[in-house]
Structure 1
Amino acid sequence: MATSTDLLAYIPSPPQGVWYVGPLALRAYALCIIAGIIVAIVWGDRRWVARGGEKGTVLDIAVWAVPFGLIGGRLYHVITDWSTYFGPGGVPVDALKVWQGGLGIWGAVALGGVGAWIGCRRRGIPLPAFADAIAPGIILAQAIGRLGNWFNQELYGRETTVPWGLEIYERTDSAGRVDTLDGVSNGVVQQVVHPTFLYELVWNLLIVVLLVVVDRRFKIGHGRLFALYVAGYCAGRFWIELMRSDHATHILGIRVNSFTSAIVFVCAVAYFVLAKKGREDPAALKPHQGSGQESGTALGSAPADAEDDESGQSDRIDGDQSAKEGEKK
């Protein structure tokens, strides 16, 4: 087993992934996820406004989409890696410990999409247009989230001797016991591996650039930009997944995430080809009259302008009657 001084050319892992402030644990994984969500909301809202929508819409819908997405991401991870939690030696309650890592992007997108659909219906705006606006922000958030895997020393690839190999340290707690998640590096390098987290991070950034360029040049809409994001991400995830060496569920001898990537890629490409061309009319991105937050009638009261119309009409009727009575006299 080599020491860190023997492998100075390699990429080092962070010495730890969690810091304690009294009883409060600050986890790099959680902080990266939160940072990614904030970036996606801020950038997504700017893109939504630029396409003709109202400012603040993305944050309103994120209130639905983010919780749904986190639950979906965790469910996908647990279902596709169930033996870790429910197999021999597994601890079922650990399935609830999201802070230990483990969020499946496809579950997050699927269930997060359900949350976004609910939010869009409440606002009276088209989901496909909303998805196109936030697509670059979502994959940028994924890139930021991958830094959390670096701090957790997880999701890495097979051993390698390439110059950009990643050092995986042995981490121990204050008593000297091995603690991969909450421990601190003791300087001993256990292995040097392919930094697949970095490969995916770089790939995601390339997809961000692709989406922005395509969107500006061709002005596509109706969910096609979101489909391009999904297809692009899946293409990269497929080959990156084949480089990983950690435990995973297999289907027909293929890692489940590669299997899922291939299926979702085909579906995304089909949608991109078959969906309506062009981009939505900006007027269609405004909240519809009758949506719960925009219409007074939906809240059980008549809109002010309707009351003015009724009042004006009443005044005209009274005026007409007075005029007729005057003629008779």
Structure 2
Amino acid sequence: MYPNLYYVFKDFFGIEWNFLHFVNSFGFFVALAFIICSIVLARELRRKGKEGVLGPVEEKVEVGKPATAGELAVNFVLGFVLGYKIIGLFLANGSAINPQEYIFSSQGNWLAGIALGLVFAFVKWREKNKQKLAKPETRTIRVWPHDRVGEITMIAIIFGLLGAKLFDTFENWDSFIKDPASIFSMSGLTFYGGLICAGIALWWYTRKHQIPFPHFLDVMAPVMMLAYGLGRIGCQVSGDGDWGIYNAAFKTSGAGGIAPATINDFQTTVTQQTGFFAHNSTHHAFFPKPGFLSFLPDWFFAYDFPHNVNETGVPLSNCVGKYCNHLPVPVFPTSLYEIIMGLLLFGLLWAIRKRFKIPGMLFGVYLILNGLERFFIEKIRVNVKMDFLGMQITQAELISFLMIIGGIVMMVLLKRGYKGKDSFLKTS
């Protein structure tokens, strides 16, 4: 596992750059997912525009005005905060500081903050000065949906992270009460919480800018599936706890490594590691590697997540410092399974995206596929269960079930309400 990029460069290239301690592996892959998905989103919105289903909106803008004091002040403050915190973080001693605690503390670099603040203010002044006219004028411009990708991405990031953290807090309320400061941590994010909150925010945004929401949903369907698959790479690489139940058909060694085992081996480990299992569920399955999948490595079926970012488990032998733990019994690497399923389902949605004629129908398919994937992966995934109508289920199971039902109902209603031809599929 690679909790941050420092360990990636150290392991692969033998380079030890302290500032890489601040680049969390999970956050890196989440950011990468947003970048890639914004590119795919722009491409799809542009395609919809060429097809004539998404058109531009005329807006009036005033051009030729010099930068105002307010604009310069806003840019200075933004540059100051980034310099004070982010550059200050990189200039600090990476091995001796907790990045999350640093970001939410008063620590920072004043010189870096003032310098970057002045740079931001100067860039804004120069940009406005180049466009300055002797007499400012009002112009009408045409703004296409694909011109708004930057704003759409920022809304998805902000409300997605807020929703993901909010739903995770509700799901783990007891832990939050014990440690309220954990709400500022980037660990513990619920995908469906981000999906719901970002979805509401984007509905408001598209309505405001006259973007037909059903067509927008169809554009977002493959994009969101791609984001899910790419985001899970961060979970797998960092070992953030999004793993499955124990697979008792395998065992680990003190130095890491996986080997076949018997159910007695599992019971012996549970007895020996009472300190760990006293606070951890022993929910497990016995699933040896099937013969027809013998070409796959053992860790595909059971993995101990050595050096995981949460520092969960028992100490690894011959390891000193942070991130020196691994799980005493390997678990199903469900984040790896979700990477594969997420990318495969993205490929499926991408392949069929042009065949649907009814707006919103592709999004209905997405709801069903995403719901099915998550509902079944929850059967072997570790998660907090809650009481619902006398049943013990996880928050994700409930939401994924509602997504499946919602997707089916959505497709039926769209089909019945469609005024065009009987067939809703384009002929190839």
Answer whether TM exceeds 0.5 for this pair.
yes
Q: Which residue of 1 aligns with 2:159?
A: 68
Percent identity of equivalent pairs: 22
Q: Which residue of 2 aligns with 1:215?
A: 353
Q: Distance in 1 between matches of 2:207 and 2:3?
A: 43
Counting only pairs closer than 5 Å after superposition, residues 42-61 of structure 1 correspond to structure 2 as 42-52=39-49, 53=54, 54=144, 55-61=146-152
Q: Distance in 2 between matches of 1:69 and 1:21?
A: 30
The yes-or-no answer on 1:270 pairing with 2:409 is yes
Q: Which residue of 1 aligns with 2:294?
A: none
Q: Which residue of 2 aligns with 1:159?
A: 246
Does the Cα contact within 8 Å between 2:315 and 2:324 map onto a contact in 1? Answer: no
> Which consecutive residues of structure 2, in runs of 5 or more, have no partner in the other structure?
7-16, 55-143, 251-288, 290-297, 421-428
Q: Kindly tell me: are residues 144 and 171 of structure 1, through their superposed partners in 2, closer, same or farther at Cα, counting changes over 3 Å? A: closer
Q: Who wins on radius of gyration, i.e. which is larger?
A: 1
TM-score (norm 1): 0.69
Amino acid at match of 2:189: L
Deviation at 1:22, TM superposition (A): 4.0
**1:124-159 deviation digits (Å, cap 9, x = unpaired):** 211221121122111111111111111332111122
TM-score (norm 2): 0.54
The yes-or-no answer on 1:241 pairing with 2:382 is no
Q: 1:203 aligns with which of 329, 341, 364?
A: 341
Q: Distance in 2 between matches of 1:138 and 1:149?
A: 17
Q: Kindly tell me: are residues 126 and 34 of structure 1, through their superposed partners in 2, closer, same or farther at Cα, counting changes over 3 Å? A: same
Q: Which residue of 1 aligns with 2:190?
A: 104
Deviation at 1:80, TM superposition (A): 1.5
Q: Give the RMSD, CA atoms, in angstroms.
A: 2.8
**1:165-199 deviation digits (Å, cap 9, x = unpaired):** 222225699xxx969xx93346x662211110011
Q: Kindly tell me: are residues 15 and 108 of structure 1, through their superposed partners in 2, closer, same or farther at Cα, counting changes over 3 Å? A: closer
**1:265-293 deviation digits (Å, cap 9, x = unpaired):** 101221122125499xxxxxxxxxxxxxx
The yes-or-no answer on 1:37 pairing with 2:34 is yes
Q: Distance in 1 between matches of 2:184 and 2:170?
A: 12
Amino acid at match of 1:211: L
Deviation at 1:35, TM superposition (A): 0.8
> Which consecutive residues of structure 1, in runs of 5 or more, have no partner in the other structure?
1-13, 280-329
* Matched residue SS, 1:169: coil
Does the Cα contact within 8 Å between 2:214 and 2:359 map onto a contact in 1? Answer: yes
Q: Distance in 1 between matches of 2:397 and 2:327?
A: 29
Does the Cα contact within 8 Å between 1:81 and 1:249 map onto a contact in 2? Answer: no
Q: Kindly tell me: are residues 201 and 220 of structure 1, through their superposed partners in 2, closer, same or farther at Cα, counting changes over 3 Å? A: farther
* Matched residue SS, 1:184: coil
* Matched residue SS, 1:157: coil
Deviation at 1:15, TM superposition (A): 4.5
Q: Which residue of 1 aligns with 2:221?
A: 135
* Matched residue SS, 1:192: coil
